[in-house]
Amino acid sequence: MKLTSIIQVLLIILLSTYTTFAAERPPNFVIIFTDDQGYGDLGCFGGKHVSTPRIDQMAAEGSRLTSFYVAAPVCTPSRAALMTGCYPKRIDMAMGSNFGVLLAGDRKGLNPDEITIAEVLKTAGYKTGMFGKWHLGDQPEFLPTRQGFDEYFGIPFSHDIHPFHPRQDHYNFPPLPLLENETVIEMDPDADFLTKRITEYAVSFIERNKDEPFFLYIPHPIPHAPLHVSPPFMDSVSGDIVAKLNAEDGNIDYRTRDKLFHQAIAEIDWSVGQILDTLKANGLDENTLVIFTSDNGPPKNTIFASPGPLRGNKGTTFEGGMREPTVIRWPGMIPAGKDNDEIMTTMDLLPTFAKLADANVPTDRIIDGKDIWPTITGKSGTPHKAFFYHRGNSLNAVRSGNWKLHTNNGKPDKLYNLENDIGEKKNVIKSHPEVVQRLNAHLKNFAKDIADNNRPAAFVNNPKPLSK
C-alpha cells in the first residue's frame, strides 16, 4: 500500500473515532443568571435603554423564551428553586431566618440533603463550577462546594450586604467576604471588578475542562444595586458622575451609581460574549447549551431597569416580578431565531439537563420541575398544567394556559388573560366564573400538596459571619 493511501486510511479512522466520541459525549451546560434584571432590560426584549449585541446575537442564533419564570420574586428562594428543581416553599427556602432573603451569618441555608442540579450532573461524570453570587447560606455547611460544585469563586450573598448599606444603622452588616472554594480571600473586594473577575474564572474553567463534560453556573451580582462596572465600561459616563464616584471616599453613593445601569448591562453583555467566544475557540460551541436569564424582576424604585410591557417588579407576583428575559442557544439543536411562548421555569432545568446528560433525577422526593426539552425544541407544548406564584410563604397566584388568577387573603381577586393582556390591566374575573373555579381548584390542590409533601431547610447553631 502506498504511503499516501496509508495516511488517508489513518485519517479516516481518526475522524471516525472523533465523530463517535463527539456523538457519545454528553452536552455541556452553561447557566448565566443575572440579578434584578427586568423583562425589558435586553435589546432583544425591546429595551432601548440598554445595548446587548452579544445576547441579541445569541437570541438570533437560538430562541427567546418569552414565558419563562423563576419560582420567586426575590433572590434566595429564586436561587433555591433553580438549584433543586423545587418550589421554594416545598424545601422551606421561601424566606430567610427572619427576613425575606438570607443575610450575613444567617443560621439557615439550603439543606445539604437536597440534591442540586450540580450533584445530579456529577453522577454523570460532569465537572461543575460556579462563579458569582450564591445566596443559599454563608455558613461552611451550606457553601457551593458542599452542594455539588467542584470549584467556586464569588460572594455568598448580595453585594449590598456590606457596611456601606444605606440602612446600615438598622442592619449592622459585617464586611463583604469574597471566597475561592471555601476560603475567604478578600474582605470588601473592589466591586467594580467583580464582573470581570467572575468572567475570567468562568473562561478559565471552560478552557481547563474542555475535554470532559461540564456544568458552569455564572450568577452575576449585578444589575442589583449598588451598580458597579470596570474602567473599560466607564468611557461613556459623564464627568459629573465620575466626579461624584471619585468622592465616595469609602462610602457607596447608591443614587449616583444607579445611573450606571446602561454600563452595567453592557459589561454583562461583554461577559456573555467572552463565554460564547471561549466555547467556540475550544471547539465546544455545537455541544453546549447556554441559557441566559435573571433571578427576579427589577426593583420598584429604579428609574432605569424596566419590566418592559409587564406589570409589577421585584417582590411582587405580577408578571414583572417573576417572568424573566430568557435566551437559550445550542447550535443545531435549538431552533434559531424562533420565539417560544410556552410556560417554562428555572425549576425545569434540573430534570431537563439530567435527561440530556443521561443522569438520574431523584426519585425519593418530589421534584416540581419537568423535562422541557421537547418544549424547547418545539415538539410539544408546556408540560405544566399550572404554574404557581409565591411571595414568601404566601401562595398568591396561578397561571394555567393563558389565564392567571390572583388571590387576596386566599380568595380569588383578579383574573387576567395574558394572551391579550400581558400587562395585567383588565380584570375579567366577573365574566369568566368557570375559569376562576378551575384555577382556584389548582390553587387548593397545590396548597394541600405542599402542606403534605415538604422538606425542611437546614440550620446551624451559633452562626458567624465569614471573615478572613
Query: Which ranges of the chain have pLDDT less than 50?
Result: 3, 7, 9-23
Give the three cell numbers for residue 256. Answer: 449616583
Instruction: Note the pLDDT of residue 250.
Output: 76
Instruction: Note the pLDDT of residue 301.
Output: 81
Instruction: Note the pLDDT of residue 20.
Output: 38
Instruction: Note the pLDDT of residue 8.
Output: 54
Residues 174 and 399: their CA atoms lie apart, in Å, by 40
Q: Residue-wise over 26-41: b if at least 16 C-beta within 10 A, else e? A: bbbbbbbbbbbbbbbb
Residues 424 and 426: their CA atoms lie apart, in Å, by 6
Contact 85, 347 (CB under 8 A): yes
Q: Which residues are part of the catalytic machinery?
A: 75, 135
Instruction: Note the pLDDT of residue 9.
Output: 46
- Place domain 27-385 in its CATH homologous superfamily: Alkaline Phosphatase, subunit A (3.40.720.10)
Cβ count near 224 (within 10 Å): 25
Q: What is the pLDDT of residues 269-312, one digit of tens each?
A: 999 999 999 999 999 999 999 999 999 999 998 889 999 999 99
Residues 242 and 59: their CA atoms lie apart, in Å, by 33
Q: What is the 3-state secondary structure (H, E, C) of 127-155?
A: EEEEEEECCCCCCHHHCHHHCCCCEEEEE
Instruction: Note the pLDDT of residue 257.
Output: 96
Instruction: Note the pLDDT of residue 5.
Output: 55
Measuring CA to CA, which residue among 141, 153, 255, 143 is closest to residue 200?
153
Measuring CA to CA, which residue among 116, 26, 84, 128 is closest to residue 357?
26
